[in-house]
Amino acid sequence: MDDSFPHNIAQVAEWLHHADSVAVMTGAGVSAESGIATFRDAGGLWEGHRPEDVATPQAFQRDPTMVWRFYNARRSQLLQCQPNPAHYALAQLERDCANFCLITQNVDGLHRTAGSRNLIELHGDIWIDRCWDCNHAQRVDKVSAEPIPACPKCGGMMRPGVVWFGETLPPGAINDAQAAAARCEVMLVIGTSSMVQPAASLAMFAAQAGAKVVEINPQATPLTHSADLVIAEKAGTAMPAILEAIEES
């Protein structure tokens, strides 16, 4: 931990304490300490496939059974995972803030489990099944028993309710996220490589509207050079320390 950590934590806590509106953007790194592999850290392959080659509409049309095997493997892993201190600290921050919005690229549902409510899931939710044919959607809480779940409405193929590479984001999600970024006074950008659009541009929306942008990530990213403050620590260390500093202020 570098010796600027306490000073940086105190500075972020002060900004948050005085902010009327706060936005947070999270990526896979916020769930890393829950035991969930990120996309671009070492490895990142599944059965030798890159996620980019499995999580696509083309892959689903070509081999829906293989795609469901990938998502059932992720659901099985998630059933063993719990929110970590970063998730809980963000849920507490929401309760402490008058205007708060948590925008996440994650589909694991751990923010919701930890208690976050004002949540925009830009890339969907792995615990939603949606019909490939009629778009009927339903929440599930376990691994699918069938190789390809059938739609209870039309009998078509169900697919995971996540946004695949090459697909557009849920209608309204990016508009709501951009609006939250444009009205916030502080944006925390936590655990994302800031490489995937349109999510990666939200920090710019916030900065252009005059917000303080804080990056929390042990590694440098394309955002690092323009952030107002960088805490190069794990989210599970930084976020509880920030909440503690706010409570002491």
The set of catalytic residues is 123
Nearer to ligand APR, 13 or 235 (CB): 235
Nearer to ligand APR, 28 or 131 (CB): 28
Q: Which residue is nearest to ligand APR (CB)?
A: 29
Q: Closest approach of Cβ 146 to ligand APR, in Å?
A: 25
Footprint on this chain of ligand APR (rule: CB under 6 A)? 27-29, 32-33, 38-41, 51, 105, 123, 191-193, 195-196, 216-219, 221, 234-236
User: Any bridge partners for residue 137, and if so which?
Assistant: 130
Nearer to ligand APR, 75 or 151 (CB): 75
Rounded CA-CA distance 102/108 in Å is 14
Write the DSSP assignment of 77-116 as a string of letters: HHHT----HHHHHHHHHHHH-SEEEEEE---S-HHHHHT-
Q: Closest approach of Cβ 11 to ligand APR, in Å?
A: 18
Closest CA to 121 of 131, 134, 112: 112
Q: Closest approach of Cβ 209 to ligand APR, in Å?
A: 22
29-45 burial code (b ≥16 CB/10 A, e <16):
bbbbbbebbbbeeeeee
Q: Closest approach of Cβ 202 to ligand APR, in Å?
A: 12
User: How many residues appear in the chain?
Assistant: 249
Nearer to ligand APR, 92 or 237 (CB): 237
Q: CB–CB of 93/111 below 8 Å? A: no
The gap from C-alpha 81 to its chain's centroid, in whole angstroms, comes to 15
